[in-house]
Structure 1
Amino acid sequence: MKFAFVTCVQLGLSCIEKIYEIGGKLDLLITLKDNKAKNKSGRVYLDDFSNLHNIDLVKINHVNDDEVIEILKEKEIDWLFIIGWSQIANERLLNAPIKGAIGMHPTLLPEGRGRAAIPWAIIKGLKKTGVTMFKLDSGVDTGQIMGSFEIPLSDDTTASILYDKVNDAHRFLIEKVWDDLVEDRIQMIVQSEQDASYWEGRKPEDGELSKNMTMQEADRLTRATTHPYPGAFLFKMDIR
C-alpha cells in the first residue's frame, strides 16, 4: 500500500511524525511552495523531514493542479492524506489515488460540519467534542467515517487547550487506523444525515463582547477566541 500526505502546517507534520514513530512510511509529501502562506498560523516546511527520511517532496501552488494528479497516478498512490490544508480538493483530485483521500475534522461528525470547529464547540457549551477521520468526498465533511476520538470539555476549556487536544487526537487516530489501512481492512461507516449539523465560519470581528451577553456567554466567547485565534474584545464606551 502506498501513501502520500498533503500538508503545510504543524498539525499535519505531527501526523507525519506519528506515522514514522509507529514504523510506517510515506511515498510522497506534497506542500505549498515556500513563498506561499508565509504568515499562515502553524506554517511549516517539510524539507528537513523529507531529506531525513528520503521521501519525495513536491511543492505546489494548488492541490488541484495537474502536476499533483499526474504524480499521484505516476507513483500509484493508494491513499492520500489531506490534513492541515485550506484549499478544497476537487473530485478529480479525490479520484486520483487508487483507494481515495483521507481527511480529519475536529468534531464528532456528523455534528459540526463546516468551519471554526474549535471555537464553536466552546461557544455552544458542548460537554464533548472530538476528531473524526473520514474518507473525503465532494461534500463538506460528509464522507464515510474511518475512526473518531472523543474529547471531553469543561467550563475551563480554552481554545488553546482544545487545540492541543485536537492535535493529540489526530496522532492517536493515525496510529489507530494505520495497520488497517496498510492491510486493506479498514471499516467505514456512512454518516447519518438525520444527525448532521453545519457550523458557519467565523471572522475576527465575531469576537466582540456585548453588554447584552450573560456572564456565561462572555466567558465562553473569551475562552473560544483565545490563542491561536485573534481573541475577544470590547469597544470602550464613552459614558460622559
Structure 2
Amino acid sequence: MKKKIAFATCVQLGLSCIEEIYRIDGSLDLLITLKDEKAKNKSGRIYLDEIATENNAPLLKIDNINDQEVLSALKEHQIDWLFIIGWSQIAQKDVLETPTYGCIGMHPTLLPIGRGRAAIPWAIIKGLKETGVTMFKLDEGVDTGNIIGQGVIKLDQNTTATQLYQKVDDMHITLIAKYWEDIVNNKITLTKQDELEATEWPGRKPEDGEVLNNMTMDEADKLIRAVTHPYPGAFYRDGDKTYRIWSAKTNKDDGSIKLIDGYLIPIDYEIEV
C-alpha cells in the first residue's frame, strides 16, 4: 500500500517539488503553509492556494509547524511521511514522530558539510568548487539526520546566488523524482552522516552584505555575487550615502570593481527583494 504524504513549504524550492510530484503522477494528502500575512518578505515566498485547488488537496495555513493544529491534521489524514522543505522553523519531537515513518527535509549543501543557514551565499563566499542538495530524514538536530540521497552542483568563479538558487531548485526537483517511488513504497535506504566531516554555517543578515574598504577585490566580488537576487543585495557606504550593488565585475588590470550596469542603486530607493 502506498503511503500517505504531506508537504509543508512556503518558498519556491518546496513548490517546485510539489509541482514535480504531480508531474510524475504522485499525489499529496495534505499541504501545509504559512498564513498569508506571515513572512511576506521571505526570499522566494510563495502561496499554495492555486496548486491545492488544482489537485483537490487539503490546505492548512499555520503560524508554526509545531502548533497543535498541525499534529491534529497529520493524525486526521493518517500521514505516513511529512516533507518539510524551505521552512525556517525547526520541527520539534512531536511533529517528527506524528507521521508514521517521520519527516523528510532537503538542505542545499552536501551534508554533513554546511549545516545551518544561508547555504547558498556561504558556498559562494567560501569559494567552493562544488556544493549540492541533500535529501534526509529529519531528526531533532539541525541538518543532522540520516541521508536518503544527494546531488552535486558545480560552481565557478562567476557563479551568482541567482544562478545557484536556480541550480538548487533544479536539484530539488531531480531528487524528488529520483526517490519518490522509494519513499511512497517505503523502500528508502538511510545513511548516517559522518560527524567527523561536519561543519556548521551561521545565519546571515542583510547588514552582512556591506562591502568594506579593507576587503580585497576577490572578497568583494564573492560577497556581491553571494547576496544578489533573491537575497537583499550587497551595499557600500560612501560618506552619508549608501548604495545597493546587485552585480559587478572585477578588473584585474587595476584592481577595481566595475559595475556591470554602470551605476549603483541608492539604498533609499525601492529595493527588489
Indicate the TM-score class for this superposition, using the shorter chain for normalisation. over 0.9
Could you tell me how far 1:142 is from its partner in structure 2? 0.1
Please list, as runs of the form range in 1=range in 2, the aligned pairs for 1:46-195 lying within 5 A after superposition.
Answer: 46-195=48-197
State which drifts further: 36-45 or 98-107.
Answer: 36-45
* Higher share in helix: 1
CA-to-aligned-CA distance 1:36-77 (integer Å, 9 cap, x gap): 223323222211111111111111121111111111112211
Distance change (3 Å), C-alpha of 1:65 and 1:211? same
Which residue is equivalent to 1:213?
A: 215
Please list, as runs of the form range in 1=range in 2, the aligned pairs for 1:220-239 lying within 5 A after superposition.
Answer: 220-237=222-239
Could you tell me how far 1:237 is from its partner in structure 2? 4.5
Please tell me the residue identity of whatever aligns with 1:107.
T
Q: Number of paired residues?
A: 238
Please tell me the residue identity of whatever aligns with 1:200.
P
Is the 8 Å Cα contact of residues 43 and 231 (structure 2) preserved in structure 1? no
Which structure is larger by alpha-carbon Rg, 1 or 2? 2
Task: Give the structure, 1 or 2, with the largest relative contact order (CA under 8 Å, sep 6 or more).
Answer: 1
Identity, % of aligned pairs?
A: 65
Distance change (3 Å), C-alpha of 1:218 and 1:144? same
Please tell me the residue identity of whatever aligns with 2:162.
S
Please tell me the residue identity of whatever aligns with 1:126.
L
State which drifts further: 34-43 or 4-13.
Answer: 34-43
Q: TM-score, normalised by structure 2?
A: 0.85
Which residue is equivalent to 1:35?
A: 37
CA-to-aligned-CA distance 1:142-197 (integer Å, 9 cap, x gap): 00000111000000100000000000010000001001112211001000000000
Please tell me the residue identity of whatever aligns with 1:62.
N
Could you tell me how far 1:8 is from its partner in structure 2? 1.4
Please tell me the residue identity of whatever aligns with 1:35.
E
Partner SS for 1:8: coil
Q: TM-score, normalised by structure 1?
A: 0.96
Question: Matched residues in 2 for 1:40 and 1:121: separation?
Answer: 20
* Higher share in strand: 2
Question: Matched residues in 2 for 1:233 and 1:42: separation?
Answer: 21
Partner SS for 2:222: helix
Give RMSD over aligned pairs: 1.2
Please tell me the residue identity of whatever aligns with 1:83.
I
Partner SS for 2:106: strand
